[in-house]
Amino acid sequence: MKDIKIRDVKVILTEPDNIRLVIVKIETSEPELYGLGCATFHQRPLAVASAVNDYLKPLLINKSPHNIEDIWQYNYQSSYWKNGSVLNNAISGVDQALWDIKGKIAGLPLYDLFGGKTREAAAVYAHASGKDIKEVEEHFSRLMEEGYHHIRVQVGTPGFAGYGAEGNFGGERHPQDGPKWITQRNSAPQNKQDYNKRTSKNPKGIEGIFEPKPYVRSALKLLDHIRSKFGFEIEILHDVHQRIPPILGVWMAKEVEKYQLFFLEDLFAPEDNDYFRMVRQQCSTPIAMGELYNNPSEYIPMIKDRLIDFIRIHISDIGGLTPAKKLAGLCEAFGVRTAWHGPGDTSPVGHAANLMLDISSWNFGIQEYSIFGERTKEVFPGCPEVKDGFMWPNDKPGLGIEINEELALKFPHKKREMGGGMLIDRRADGSVNRP
């Protein structure tokens, strides 16, 4: 198959379970030989589709799918303005699909092409969240019963919007309303149906009210409760999601040290990276960072100066498997473990790509996992299987996953208010807060 060429590049937009997925399919001159890649950018899917169809596809037709590194560099350099989530996700879809093809040609799963197994399965963590501590505790217990050994915990802040805790939205707020102080908060929607009802009636959606200190107090109470209730046998994680002022983040990192977190995630935004040095000087809380990085200049200093313990890069956001393999090697040299981003808006193809790296990288740490809906499993035969807190490869060639294209097209992307952009919470004074 030395003479095979790229015959066509397709973008498949599908939404089996209310998550807009973007899949790239590369077809070759060899009948039935194709590859799949994840290019999902949930908030900007059409921009990614355009980048593939209008800009990358013309560069790819009649190219050899064997030359993955050359194709990656050519695609990356061809726009002149490099990096950025739209372009990188588009390149990632192409890159993963080419690796999938290479694995199929070799008749080997990609982890074998990446050096072979360093482990049989990858430990994963699931999310336990709720509007209050009791609800989180119940969710935590269920995940323990299902065999998870690593669990991320998030709780709502009474009366405020909260990250990772569905149901606490902090009431409706429009920008023109002006300040809304703590004593003037509206009641939050009590359930998902109420939220959907309000959202459908309000073209501007719902903007919650978020205040940092009440959130930190709620998070600390939750961590204390979980450790008191369940002890230290289960590893727990928490995501700040860069929503608090940096100096408050430094204080929080010190306060959670006694709870022995597996890691504390996204303590600061990328533009506040210098604050990580203060955390290192004052405590030993393990730090995870990276899901918002898409530029090497953001993450290389963090790694070489050993300011983080886990790299949380979203591999589609840096351009796919080709740069991710290099990043994993760099991290190994500096004692940083991998923890690739794997939320609900990562397709099963993206999870399969994560798994290939997890299995083959000696410095693997943990893998975020989002439980697939039944329709998603039908659309993507070969979804990675999770059992007893581990994700297992199926040992099929390439990424080991397929797509039922006919079924996928039965679940087109739904139209959303504001194009589907993320609703951003505001502070009590009306100013925009970080996500």
Catalytic residue list: 163, 241
Sign of CA dihedral 377, 382, 384, 385: positive
Render each residue's pLDDT in the chain as its tens digit; 435 residues.
789 999 999 999 999 999 999 999 999 999 999 999 999 999 999 999 999 999 999 999 999 999 999 999 999 999 998 889 999 999 999 999 999 999 999 999 999 999 999 999 999 999 999 999 999 999 999 999 999 999 999 999 987 877 776 544 444 444 445 554 444 444 444 444 544 444 443 334 456 788 999 999 999 999 999 999 999 999 999 999 999 999 999 999 999 999 999 999 999 999 999 999 999 999 999 999 999 999 999 999 999 999 999 999 999 999 999 999 999 999 999 999 999 999 988 999 999 999 999 999 999 999 999 888 999 999 999 999 999 999 999 999 999 999 999 999 999 999 887 777 777 888 888 888 887
CA nearest to 21, candidates 390, 341, 343: 343
What pLDDT shows up at residue 348? 96
pLDDT digits (tens, 9 = 90+) for 363-407: 999 999 988 899 999 999 999 999 999 999 999 999 999 999 999
Q: Is 42 helix (H, G, I), strand (E, B) or coil?
A: coil
Contact between residue 263 and residue 284 where contact means Cβ atoms under 8 Å apart: no
Mean pLDDT, the chain, whole residue set: 90
What pLDDT shows up at residue 2? 82
Q: Where are the chain's structural domains?
A: 122-397
Sign of CA dihedral 330, 334, 338, 341: negative
> Top-level CATH class of 122-397?
alpha beta
Cα-flanking dihedrals φ and ψ of residue 234, to 5°? -95, 135
Angle at 339 between CA 123 and CA 386, to 5 degrees: 30
Contact between residue 224 and residue 255 where contact means Cβ atoms under 8 Å apart: no
What the block records as the tokens of 326 is 């290099």
What the block records as the tokens of 149 is 């050994």
